[in-house]
A and B are shown apart, each in its own frame.
Chain A
Amino acid sequence: MDIQEKLSILADAAKYDASCASSGSKGTRAGSRLGSTEGMGICHSYTPDGRCVSLLKILLTNYCIYDCQYCVNRVTSETRRARFTVDEIVRLTIEFYQRNYIEGLFLSSGIIQNPDYTMEQLALVAKSLRVEHQFGGYIHLKSIPGASENLLEEAGRWADRLSVNIELPTPADLQALAPEKKPPEITDAMDAIKQRLDQYQSDRQAGFKVARFAPAGQSTQMIVGATATPDLEILKTASGLYNQQKLRRVYYSAYSPIPHADARLPGMSPPLVREHRLYQADWLMRFYGFGSSELVAESDGNLSLEIDPKLAWALAHREMFPIDVNRAEREMLLRIPGIGARNVDRILRLRRHHAIRVSDLKKLRVAWNRTASFVQTIDHNPALKQLDAQGLKDRFKPREKQLLLFDTGQSALDGEF
């Protein structure tokens, strides 16, 4: 099989992985002859699915000894199989990088022989790139749950980021669709990475010169919509991961119909809007001080598909509004619909100079139609009288649902809105 054919099989198999960002590394590795990690998160291209191409995202192989039902590579799937050699991946990465196609490599793999063997191969790719080619670009390795700790150590030495996929939002989901993957193995792997990261930091603070360990931290991905688990459970799992495992990012991947899928899985994907709402909620938890339970207002434990979670929260807590933009503290400003964190900081700076008017907010380009009914300014804000109106919520509902499906606002990947 030639390299082109392998690439088409092993990139195709990687397309269900949501993580793509090449961010989080501070400073490029010393002595690099090719590549840097400055200019974080450059997307070199976009595909018609609206996702960015930042990294060469491929699998080492799509052979796998496991039988996870949501995965196209599971052992019982009759998909075409291929395997790259370590050398082939190294060459592809270097050549693509030299043309400025990519920011680096995202390497994952089906599990072959056993977790240790697979992990060893992944680490070898990264080591060869760093040591033989003085490659300074971004490398993200997917860790294999169950691989031994010294292999994780080795991988973290060469990679910028390590991740372990949590796969499904709850242990029960995992038991149902991937009984061979054990939740403890997954969390053990995350714990091991976290401990190494902590260790690295405290050694550095104590003044020791220690080898870098995954400077961009760790992330994870969960598949959403393959089971009936509601958003609230999903967000609770995510918030646990942020708090306990100190993960940098949790990626949500809307379950997408995969070829050779198990017939028990949904044939069509749930709306991408749901994935988008989860990213928004995730963003609100990380940067806006919201708790997972606050964000889910619907009685079935799901986020509203029609309006964004911050607006939904505001509508359900109208007693907290209007918020006076000239007096309110930062935490409260952050809760105003349509105003992002950057604008909150600008408002705080600006109001030291003059009292804020509606026109100031409009100039700051807040999403005025969402903001209007919730803020008090120094001048008259006519939209305020709608705050207590019964039908306020309807004003925000999208006129046509279909539109929403294909135009889900800002980048679904960074969740910013």
Chain B
Amino acid sequence: MYSFVVQSFAEWRSCSRALLNAQVPPDQVIFRDSPVQATLFDDESAGEQSWSALVRVPARGHKVPQAFLDLAHAVSCHRDTDRFQLLYRLLWRLTTNEARLMEVITDDDVHRLHQMEKAVRRDSHKMKAFVRFRKLVTPEGEQFVAWHRPDHRVVRLVSPFFSRRFPAMNWTILTPDESVSWDQKELRYGPGCSRDHAPDGDELEDLWLTYYGSIFNPARIKVKTMIREMPVRHWATLPEATIIDDLLNDAPRRVAEMIARQEGHARSARDYLPAHQTLKSLREAAKTCRGCDLYCEATQTVFGEGPADARIVLVGEQPGDQEDLAGRPFVGPAGHVLDDALQQAGMDRSEVYLTNAVKHFKFEPTEKRRLHKKPSARESSACRPWVDAELRLIKPKVLVCLGATAAHSLIGPGFSVTRQRGQFVRSDWCEHTLATYHPSAILRSLQSESLRKLLIDDLKAAKHQADNS
């Protein structure tokens, strides 16, 4: 009987090579992985004697498949005490009369080898995933230290991975069996140690927990999947695990809130569109629109006006103070600017159709007057069915958007009036759509004269296009 204390793959390999040379069958050998155990059963010198006897046997070449060596390397990290025994038995069978044994994966020994290898592989993977470094700032520089508790003895198997991943960091991983350090040049192994040797916090952990809590979707709880992939025994070293209970407890409330906070276009002008659509029926229906809250404060709906067969449609943003009172679009100061520009461009107001993207006046009341307020994206989207319907009926040859609100609503949210002003583009309603300044911009601008000129130019271009198509 031969007996050995073997702790690493390399030791097992040289032992086994010698045993094979001497043709010692597996039932004549006992491999142990700890000297303490060995002394319990037989006297320590027995192994050494047999070893010296073995090495005198001349070496012979033994061929085994690489697949076996790879598996054996992994399995040697398994915690089971009989792993080296199993490996030698397989080695014996492979080299005596079962050269293709590795292919018979349902053989009991081969099967067990695979099971063990799988456990080691899984544990290595978990080590790569669940090591959490904590940063220490020391006089010598930054040091990253982790405490991890693997199931198997995988430190040596996995640490080269960490050295490739974090080459420019000084790091240490502590485990109960063994520790490893990297100083940006080489890996050094040391004894295992308990958890109190590891630092217990890192300034970044708060941010990490914030991230972890936010990326989790409370509307889809799958605790079993989480536990299968992240076994509870690893939670002790994962900072984020401390908030799992809180996240779960809070999940029903968050989901209820997500559902309760539903909003949006439960209401929109869509619900007020008449079944039979003409400009007249639309105008009538729009009077009672409650598609968004703007109707509450405004005096009345200001619908578009102009001939139903207009070749050119102009769309502004929303009615202003005077339009709200009069119930007609473009009658205030901006309307005068527009009238004037139309005239200079050789057009008559009565031949174009004038309307707004939003049909109610939005304002902020001050002591003296009602101050115009830009409609929100929600309001313009709620109101859009009206413009859509108007444009569907009129089918203009040219569509002119006055200002950004109209341009964003009708051409697309990415449209930039500053950069793309005056260019014809295609929109869903009209082959020739053009955006230009809103006449009220001219009233407010310091360079009003140059803007006015551009507005007139663009209107001229619109007329030219309409005349020629």
* CB contact under 8 A between A363 and B217, given known A99-B202, A259-B261, A263-B266: no
Instruction: Answer whether residue A69 sits at the interface, using C-beta atoms and an 8 A cutoff.
Output: yes
- B11 CB to nearest A CB, Å: 27
Query: Which residues of chain B come closer than 8 Å to A399, judged between CB atoms?
Result: none
Q: Which of A69, A101, A363 has the most CB of B within 10 A?
A: A101
Which B residue's beta carbon lies closest to that of A65? B413
Query: Which residues of chain B come closer than 8 Å to A92, judged between CB atoms?
Result: 207
Other-chain residue from A45, A50, A254, A350 in contact with B106 (beta carbon distance below 8 A): A350
Query: Which residues of chain A come closer than 8 Å to B166, judged between CB atoms?
Result: 34, 98, 100
Q: Which of B131, B248, B259 has the most CB of A within 10 A?
A: B259
- Partner-contacting stretch, out of B26-34, B250-258, B315-323, B341-349: B250-258
Asked whether, in the complex, the Cβ of B222 is within 8 Å of the Cβ of A408, the reply is yes
- B8 CB to nearest A CB, Å: 23
Distance in angstroms between the alpha carbons of A45 and B238 in the assembled complex:
9
- Partner-contacting stretch, out of B208-216, B274-282, B457-465: B208-216
Q: Type the 1/0 row for A340-372, where 1 means its CB is closer than 8 Å to any CB of B.
A: 000000100110111000011001100000000
* CB contact under 8 A between A38 and B161, given known A7-B210, A69-B264, A256-B219: yes
Asked whether, in the complex, the Cβ of A352 is within 8 Å of the Cβ of B219, the reply is no
Asked whether, in the complex, the Cβ of B222 is within 8 Å of the Cβ of A53, the reply is no
Other-chain residue from B105, B161, B378 in contact with A39 (beta carbon distance below 8 A): B161
The number of residues on chain B lying at the interface, defined by a beta carbon within 8 Å of a beta carbon of chain A, is 74
Query: Which residues of chain A come closer than 8 Å to B213, judged between CB atoms?
Result: 8
Instruction: Answer whether residue A142 sits at the interface, using C-beta atoms and an 8 A cutoff.
Output: no
Asked whether, in the complex, the Cβ of B257 is within 8 Å of the Cβ of A350, the reply is no
Asked whether, in the complex, the Cβ of B216 is within 8 Å of the Cβ of A7, the reply is no
Q: Type the 1/0 row for A36-71, where 1 means its CB is closer than 8 Å to any CB of B.
A: 101100111111111111001100000001110100
Query: Which residues of chain A come closer than 8 Å to B251, judged between CB atoms?
Result: 48
Query: Which residues of chain B come closer than 8 Å to A16, judged between CB atoms?
Result: 217
Query: Which residues of chain A come closer than 8 Å to B264, judged between CB atoms?
Result: 69, 76-77, 260-264
Query: Which residues of chain B come closer than 8 Å to A263, judged between CB atoms?
Result: 262-266
Other-chain residue from B133, B165, B210, B214 in contact with A99 (beta carbon distance below 8 A): B133
Distance in angstroms between the alpha carbons of A51 and B134 in the assembled complex:
25
Instruction: Answer whether residue B368 sits at the interface, using C-beta atoms and an 8 A cutoff.
Output: no
Other-chain residue from B144, B165, B229, B412 in contact with A46 (beta carbon distance below 8 A): B229
Asked whether, in the complex, the Cβ of A259 is within 8 Å of the Cβ of B238, the reply is no
Asked whether, in the complex, the Cβ of A3 is within 8 Å of the Cβ of B247, the reply is no
Asked whether, in the complex, the Cβ of A4 is within 8 Å of the Cβ of B206, the reply is yes
Instruction: Answer whether residue A228 sits at the interface, using C-beta atoms and an 8 A cutoff.
Output: no
Instruction: Answer whether residue B61 sits at the interface, using C-beta atoms and an 8 A cutoff.
Output: no
Asked whether, in the complex, the Cβ of B106 is within 8 Å of the Cβ of A360, the reply is yes
Distance in angstroms between the alpha carbons of A67 and B439 in the assembled complex:
27
Asked whether, in the complex, the Cβ of B414 is within 8 Å of the Cβ of A65, the reply is yes
Distance in angstroms between the alpha carbons of A47 and B213 in the assembled complex:
8
- B223 CB to nearest A CB, Å: 6
Distance in angstroms between the alpha carbons of A126 and B257 in the assembled complex:
35
- Partner-contacting stretch, out of A194-202, A209-217, A265-273, A295-303: A265-273
Instruction: Answer whether residue B135 sits at the interface, using C-beta atoms and an 8 A cutoff.
Output: yes
Instruction: Answer whether residue B226 sits at the interface, using C-beta atoms and an 8 A cutoff.
Output: yes
Asked whether, in the complex, the Cβ of B132 is within 8 Å of the Cβ of A50, the reply is no
Query: Which residues of chain A come closer than 8 Å to B21, judged between CB atoms?
Result: none
The number of residues on chain A lying at the interface, defined by a beta carbon within 8 Å of a beta carbon of chain B, is 83
- A50 CB to nearest B CB, Å: 3
- B224 CB to nearest A CB, Å: 5
Instruction: Answer whether residue A150 sits at the interface, using C-beta atoms and an 8 A cutoff.
Output: no
Distance in angstroms between the alpha carbons of A406 and B251 in the assembled complex:
15
Which A residue's beta carbon lies closest to that of B204? A95
- A260 CB to nearest B CB, Å: 5
Asked whether, in the complex, the Cβ of B377 is within 8 Å of the Cβ of A75, the reply is yes
Distance in angstroms between the alpha carbons of A39 and B129 in the assembled complex:
10
Q: Main SS of the interface on chain A?
A: loop
* CB contact under 8 A between A346 and B105, given known A95-B204, A98-B144, A411-B229: yes
Instruction: Answer whether residue B63 sits at the interface, using C-beta atoms and an 8 A cutoff.
Output: no
Asked whether, in the complex, the Cβ of A98 is within 8 Å of the Cβ of B128, the reply is no
Distance in angstroms between the alpha carbons of A309 and B332 in the assembled complex:
66
Instruction: Answer whether residue A258 sits at the interface, using C-beta atoms and an 8 A cutoff.
Output: yes
Asked whether, in the complex, the Cβ of A4 is within 8 Å of the Cβ of B225, the reply is no
Residues from 365 to 380 in B contacting A, C-beta threshold 8 Å: 376-378
Instruction: Answer whether residue A188 sits at the interface, using C-beta atoms and an 8 A cutoff.
Output: no
Distance in angstroms between the alpha carbons of A7 and B109 in the assembled complex:
52
Residues from 90 to 106 in B contacting A, C-beta threshold 8 Å: 100, 103-106
* CB contact under 8 A between A7 and B214, given known A50-B226, A75-B413, A76-B264: yes
Which B residue's beta carbon lies closest to that of A364? B106
Query: Which residues of chain A come closer than 8 Å to B210, judged between CB atoms?
Result: 4, 7-8, 11
Q: Type the 1/0 row for B138-164, where 1 means its CB is closer than 8 Å to any CB of A.
A: 000000101000000000000001001
Residues from 330 to 344 in A contacting B, C-beta threshold 8 Å: none
Residues of B that sit less than 8 Å from A by CB: 100, 103-106, 111, 125, 128-135, 144, 146, 161, 164-169, 202, 204, 206-208, 210-226, 229-230, 238, 240, 244, 247-248, 251, 255, 257-259, 261-266, 376-378, 381, 408, 412-414, 416, 428
Query: Which 7 pairs of residues, A with B, have the shortest CB-CB distance?
Result: A50-B222, A50-B225, A263-B266, A65-B413, A262-B264, A47-B216, A11-B214
Enumerate 24 A-B pairs (CB-CB under 8 Å) in ascending A order.
Answer: A7-B207, A7-B214, A11-B211, A11-B214, A38-B165, A44-B130, A45-B238, A49-B217, A67-B381, A77-B263, A98-B166, A99-B202, A99-B208, A111-B414, A113-B414, A146-B414, A254-B220, A260-B262, A260-B264, A349-B103, A350-B104, A353-B100, A406-B222, A408-B222
Q: Apart from A34-B167, A264-B265, A412-B222, what are 18 other A-B pairs with CB-CB below 8 Å?
A: A7-B214, A11-B211, A28-B164, A32-B167, A38-B165, A44-B130, A46-B230, A48-B221, A49-B217, A75-B413, A99-B133, A99-B202, A179-B428, A263-B263, A263-B265, A264-B266, A268-B259, A359-B106
